[in-house]
Amino acid sequence: MDASTAKKAIDCIRKLMEENRDFLIELDSIIGDGDLGLTMTMAFNTADDKMKNLEESDIGQLFFKTGMEIAKAAPSTMGTLVATGFMRGGMALKGKIELFPADMALFFRAFADALIDRGKSKPGEKSIIDVIDPAATAMEGSTDDWNTLADAGIAAARSGLENTKMMMARHGRAAYYQEKSIGKQDPGGTAGLFIVEGMLKAFKSEK
Amino acid sequence: MDASTAKKAIDCIRKLMEENRDFLIELDSIIGDGDLGLTMTMAFNTADDKMKNLEESDIGQLFFKTGMEIAKAAPSTMGTLVATGFMRGGMALKGKIELFPADMALFFRAFADALIDRGKSKPGEKSIIDVIDPAATAMEGSTDDWNTLADAGIAAARSGLENTKMMMARHGRAAYYQEKSIGKQDPGGTAGLFIVEGMLKAFKSEK
Amino acid sequence: MKKFLNQPEAFVDEMLEGILEAHSDQLKSVADDVRCIVRSDISKNGKVGLATGGGSGHLPLFLGYVGKGMLDGCSVGGVFQSPSSDRMLEVTKAIDTGKGVLYIYGNYGGDVMNFDMASEMAAMENIQVVSYAAGEDVASAPKGEEAKRRGVAGIFYVYKCAGAKAEEGANLDEVRRIAEKAGDAVRTMGVAISPVVVPEVGKPSFIIGDDEMEIGMGIHGEPGIRRGKLLSANDVVREMLDKLLPDLPYISGDEVSVLVNGLGATPKEELYVAYRKVAEILRRKGISVFKVYVGEFATSLEMAGFSISVFKLDDELKSLLAAPARTPFFEQFQLEV
Amino acid sequence: MKKFLNQPEAFVDEMLEGILEAHSDQLKSVADDVRCIVRSDISKNGKVGLATGGGSGHLPLFLGYVGKGMLDGCSVGGVFQSPSSDRMLEVTKAIDTGKGVLYIYGNYGGDVMNFDMASEMAAMENIQVVSYAAGEDVASAPKGEEAKRRGVAGIFYVYKCAGAKAEEGANLDEVRRIAEKAGDAVRTMGVAISPVVVPEVGKPSFIIGDDEMEIGMGIHGEPGIRRGKLLSANDVVREMLDKLLPDLPYISGDEVSVLVNGLGATPKEELYVAYRKVAEILRRKGISVFKVYVGEFATSLEMAGFSISVFKLDDELKSLLAAPARTPFFEQFQLEV
Ligand SMILES: Nc1ncnc2c1ncn2[C@@H]1O[C@H](COP(=O)(O)OP(=O)(O)O)[C@@H](O)[C@H]1O
Ligand SMILES: Nc1ncnc2c1ncn2[C@@H]1O[C@H](COP(=O)(O)OP(=O)(O)O)[C@@H](O)[C@H]1O
Ligand SMILES: [Mg+2]
Ligand SMILES: [Mg+2]
Ligand SMILES: [Mg+2]
Ligand SMILES: [Mg+2]
């Protein structure tokens, strides 16, 4: 579980974003401006390209820089949120050249807190927070091994995403639709699920 | 042949313009901006309304004021040309309270010269001048009585208008069409014919 | 998509190159990045720095207000997209003369987050930064939820007054106070009748009927308050002011400045037809008008429509509004007060 | 027809009422007629009077250049129609301070005739009047037939220089000389991609394909030089300058001012993309640029398109161009020369 796994994780997220590019565009078109598939692929393509060629054994630094690259490449709402998540998550792992399952829980806790802080929002407001936050909580309770952690994290993210359907959007463009946003799955949350999935699957498969 | 006949002449022109409103619009649409039917009815409606209620026995003054009213009401190319024509024509008859056929020839000569002066143009350039100028010349040669004068003037105006078809437009919007203007009857010349016709028919019928 | 452009992806950068080329006496870019623009006379300055930033497609917003008496720098995003925080940081570093920097920007999620991020990054570089997010579109959130409102054309007044205050040599807190005071004194309502085409998207941002208007629509096509048949100019203005005036409220005896802002494709002639009705309504309500701006101050590419902003004056704001200003997009001689 | 207006017939007068209402500190009407507009500070003036006039639908042309350092009065016609000579006369009488009046207007048949008529009427009132009809649209008549050319956006330079000269206290002949000198030094080329709807007509002024442009089209939709597929901004600019630059000609070593003028619906962003290419071409040809204007200076309601004007400078024209000016539609601080 060293920096090369971390790099592989970024690559995994990139692939998921690419596979789901049109799906994200579609979701964001309904209650947003439709750019999410573009910004997320742009964000992770850039980050992945940069990280691949980076000599860096400090995994904290690696994730922090991933966030920096995303911030530059994708200054949209989600780009900035995800960038902040990676930067704060990276700060939480600063100095680590090897990761244990508990570190991944630390990472996502910091990630979720970063979203809450940057987005000035909280769980229940139909956003990526409703995916990352429950995933972080689930991981905090399952740090025995990578398998348990990954399964718990992904399952929690999935059900978190499912729950966003019932919520009314309070932030971003979706909020303009008010009641009309109810019933629709949150686009940002969907991208959040791919981040959790990509990250955890990479570490799980490497274990 | 006093001021009341002159007023009747204006009314005659007004009616001809009204009857031919759509025809003038159509002609001007082909090689112009299509407003001629509107500006000519506007011009003569206003002039006629004003002249009807004017106490004025000086026929020269009456036509001069007709020109003034047209200038205000219809500042388009043709409005301004016709206004100048009536003003200069009126000036040529200044002080007359009764008209003889020769006076009508004087009027239209001054009218034609005014067009040439104001329009900085000359016969043969596909304009109202090609109708008024030959009509004036014909009248100058037939001042025996109102009938001869009217018939000569109207016939010359008609054939002048017919001749405009062969000409290439040198002035105004029509000139932008260059060769494409050949074959089409000049809209301004058509309105010019109605002026000659209205004027001469009124005087002829009153004789 | 009928536009004068080359590659759609190059649109923003080529536009900026054109601006820098045309106005090299007044503007320059920093960090070798055309998306980071500052006044070319920055170094001699020694005053509080004012920075803004926002998406492209709104000229003269945002960078058009960089110049003497207004702002010092601007970071530029893609069409309708926030600039990135690192660009904001570059601008911040370039304009700070040690007296600190005020960010003034429109209240949109992406911009808020990026400016917040840039503030944190600036703090790491020991630059003191405070922010003011302008939001005065009464159609975008109800009274009582002012903090959620989008920033539109009224931000012009915030730039103008805060810029004049900074030019006077006021400190960061004072300039921040004026920005907020100006922002609190302005309200805007918009109406749109045609969509825009973002070059990289290539198709209209929304569909609207040939005889329809949308009152309250945002400058990126955000949903408004009411869609309906296009009314007469007088009726449209009346409906807009009926919503706008009670919001602050503006009342008899008030003195205001009015900004009638074209969204892009609406001719100035129509804006003046609209202003005629604005003046009539204000007069009837006993509200006096000090200075009227009519033209394009915050656009949305080729969207047809306009907005009305009303700015309530007191002696302080009036004298700041009256101060001269000179940018490549906006020149104002000292007004008589 | 999708416009903000009330009765189409009232459009022009309501627009003017709005302008007079908004800018009562700078403009007023005379002869109880909103279509006769003059500077409100006329009486204190004592200089040669400058008057213009023309059809409505071109704001800021024509009345937008009435103000300090530019013109003194303007008569206003219906949309795309010449004002009447009696209105021209009223304006002339109001602005004459005994030093005579210069008429500067665009070279269109109706306007020429009406201004000629007004001159004669003014002579009857013992006011000395001379005229200059600006015509610089290279697409409207070939070289050698310059006198036939239509006046378009380049008239701005004529107003600016003649206005500055008059402000200096020059006599009528001198001001007339400058008007002609400025007019001789400017050339313009336009391109249009969409028609306009005149309110009283209610339908588009011409038909143009969804992917077509017309190079050289006039500001009332007069036929241009070439209609074809809409090219890239760079190619359009190249084609326009290929025709424009050899006309004067503008050659290596010349110093010029450039005006990129939007016709109404084309966003400023696109105008700057176009200017970027203009700058590149001029640089390659060794022509240096002193001052660039980009924006709407002579429009055609909501027509989409733009024009490029190039104005060749010498020391005299440059210092006149650099002088300050202040109208409700155009403010310029003194430029550094
Ligand atoms: N204030 C906020 N806090 C947390 N998440 C937010 C906030 N605003 C928006 N989001 C998330 O961002 C998603 C939209 O992202 P994006 O498409 O980038 O927005 P935009 O295109 O409007 O900039 C939403 O689905 C939501 O999950
Ligand atoms: N310079 C000119 N001299 C004489 N007649 C002219 C001149 N220019 C135009 N005309 C006449 O005016 C007619 C067009 O008039 P009108 O429709 O009023 O023009 P516009 O609508 O372009 O102002 C032409 O058919 C022609 O007869
Ligand atoms: Mg989006
Ligand atoms: Mg977006
Ligand atoms: Mg016509
Ligand atoms: Mg006409």
Asked if C283 is an interface residue toward chain D (Cβ–Cβ < 8 A), one would say no
Give dist(CA D141, CA C180) in Å, integer: 56
Q: Which carries the bigger pLDDT value, residue D124 or residue C8? A: C8
Is B161:B153 a contact under the CB 8 Å cutoff? no
Per-residue pLDDT, D143: 95
- Residue C55 banded pLDDT, cuts 50, 70, 90: very high
Question: What are the CA-CA distances from residue C167 to residues C42, C174, C325 (Å)?
Answer: 12, 12, 10
Is D53:D62 a contact under the CB 8 Å cutoff? yes
CA torsion sign for A139, A145, A146, A147 is negative
Q: Enumerate the β-bridge partners of residue C206.
A: none
Give the amino acid at A83.
A
Question: Which candidate in C187, C220, C277, C312 is catalytic?
Answer: C220
Q: What is the mean pLDDT of chain C?
A: 96
For ligand 3, the distance from its centroid to the CA atom of residue D264, given in whole angstroms, is 31
For residue range D14-68, list pLDDT tens digits in order: 999 999 999 999 999 999 999 999 999 987 668 999 999 999 999 999 999 999 9
Ligand 2 pocket, B90 CB below 6 A? no
pLDDT surpassing 70 at residue C332: yes
For residue range B75-133, list pLDDT tens digits in order: 999 999 999 999 999 999 999 999 999 999 999 999 999 999 999 999 999 999 999 99
Asked if A81 is an interface residue toward chain C (Cβ–Cβ < 8 A), one would say yes
Give dist(CA A186, CA A184) in Å, integer: 6
Is D230:D192 a contact under the CB 8 Å cutoff? no
> Per the CB < 8 Å rule, is D210 touching C301?
no
Please tell me the pTM assigned to this model. 0.94
Q: Which two tokens stand for residue B3?
A: 């001021």
- Residue B177 banded pLDDT, cuts 50, 70, 90: confident
C87 min Cα distance to partner chain A (Å)? 8
Nearest to C279 by CA among C320, C237, C311, C250: C237
For residue range A6-51, list pLDDT tens digits in order: 999 999 999 999 999 999 999 998 888 888 999 999 999 999 999 9
- Residue C45 banded pLDDT, cuts 50, 70, 90: low
B95-B44-B167-D110 Cα dihedral, nearest 10 degrees = 90
Mean pLDDT of D113-132: 95
Give dist(CA C196, CA B37) in Å, integer: 38
User: Residue D7: exposed, middle, or buried by beta-carbon count in 10 A (0-12, 13-18, 19+)?
Assistant: exposed
Give dist(CA D210, CA D85) in Å, integer: 40
- What number does CATH give the domain D8-184? 3.40.50.10440
Nearest to B70 by CA among B89, B60, B85: B85
> Per the CB < 8 Å rule, is C110 touching A76?
yes
Among chain D residues, the shortest Cα distance to C199 is held by D270
For B53, residues 6+ apart whose C-beta sits below 8 A from its C-beta are none
- Residue B207 banded pLDDT, cuts 50, 70, 90: low
For residue range D143-195, list pLDDT tens digits in order: 999 999 999 999 999 999 999 999 999 999 999 999 999 999 999 999 999 99
Question: Which candidate in D220, D291, D312, D318 is catalytic?
Answer: D220
- What number does CATH give the domain A3-205? 1.25.40.340
Going from N- to C-terminal start, the domains of chain A cover 3-205
Probe site for chain C from A29, A33, A72 (most C CB atoms < 10 A)? A33
Which residue matches tokens 């009509």?
B135
Mean pLDDT of A79-83: 97
ipTM comes to: 0.92
Give dist(CA C126, CA B5) in Å, integer: 94
Give the H or E element holding residue A82.
helix A77-92
Nearest to B187 by CA among B61, B39, B63, B44: B39
- Residue D200 banded pLDDT, cuts 50, 70, 90: confident
Q: For the domain D186-332, what is the CATH superfamily, name and number?
A: Dihydroxyacetone kinase; domain 2 (3.30.1180.20)
Write out residues 34-53 of B within 8 Å (CB-CB) of D. Answer: 35
For B118, residues 6+ apart whose C-beta sits below 8 A from its C-beta are B80, B81, B84, D113, D116, D117
Is D305:D194 a contact under the CB 8 Å cutoff? yes
pLDDT surpassing 90 at residue C105: yes
Across C54-87, b (16+ Cβ under 10 Å) vs e yields: bbbbbbbbbbbbbbbbbbbbbbbbbbbbbbbbbb
Q: Which two tokens stand for residue C300?
A: 């949305």
Per-residue pLDDT, C17: 98
Nearest to D162 by CA among D174, D181, D179: D179
Per-residue pLDDT, C201: 84
Give the amino acid at D19.
I
> Per the CB < 8 Å rule, is C304 touching D306?
no
Is D287:D257 a contact under the CB 8 Å cutoff? no
The gap from C-alpha D318 to its chain's centroid, in whole angstroms, comes to 18
Q: Which of B76, B120, B125, B128 maximizes ligand 2 atoms within 8 Å of its Cβ, making it the mutation to test the pocket?
A: B128
Mean pLDDT of D105-125: 94
Is C285:C125 a contact under the CB 8 Å cutoff? no
For residue range C166-213, list pLDDT tens digits in order: 999 999 999 999 999 999 999 999 999 999 999 988 888 889 999 999
pLDDT surpassing 90 at residue C42: no
Give the amino acid at B81.
L
C152 min Cα distance to partner chain A (Å)? 15
D80 min Cα distance to partner chain C (Å)? 13
Going from N- to C-terminal start, the domains of chain D cover 8-184, 186-332
pLDDT surpassing 70 at residue A58: yes
Locate all alpha helices (DSSP H) within B55-186, ordered by sequence. Answer: 59-73, 77-92, 101-119, 129-140, 146-164
Asked if A118 is an interface residue toward chain C (Cβ–Cβ < 8 A), one would say yes
Mean pLDDT is lowest, of A50-64, A93-107, D191-205, for D191-205
Nearest to C155 by CA among C281, C63, C92, C221: C63
Mean pLDDT of D310-320: 98
Q: Enumerate the β-bridge partners of residue B117.
A: none
Mean pLDDT is lowest, of A5-19, C42-56, D51-65, D244-258, for C42-56
For D124, residues 6+ apart whose C-beta sits below 8 A from its C-beta are none
Give dist(CA C171, CA C66) in Å, integer: 19
Mean pLDDT of C116-122: 95
pLDDT surpassing 70 at residue A108: yes
**Coil, strand, or helix at residue B205?**
helix
Question: What are the CA-CA distances from residue B15 to residues B35, C16, C22, C213 (Å)?
Answer: 18, 61, 58, 43
D172-177: long-range contacts, CB 8 A cutoff, minimum separation 24: D172/D48, D172/D99, D172/D100, D172/D101, D172/D102, D172/D128, D172/D130, D173/D130, D175/D48, D175/D50, D175/D102, D176/D102, D176/D130, D176/D132
Ligand 2 pocket, B89 CB below 6 A? no
- Give the number of C-D residue pairs with CB atoms closer than 8 Å: 164
pLDDT surpassing 90 at residue B174: no
Per-residue pLDDT, C202: 87
- Residue A180 banded pLDDT, cuts 50, 70, 90: confident
Residue A23, number of CB atoms within 10 A of its CB = 15
Across B64-76, b (16+ Cβ under 10 Å) vs e yields: bbbbbbbbbbbbb
Per-residue pLDDT, A110: 98
For ligand 2, the distance from its centroid to the CA atom of residue B189, given in whole angstroms, is 9
Q: Which residues line ligand 1 (CB under 6 A)?
A: A 28, 32-33, 35-36, 39, 76-78, 81, 115, 119-121, 127-129, 171-174, 186-189; C 109-110
Per-residue pLDDT, D198: 92
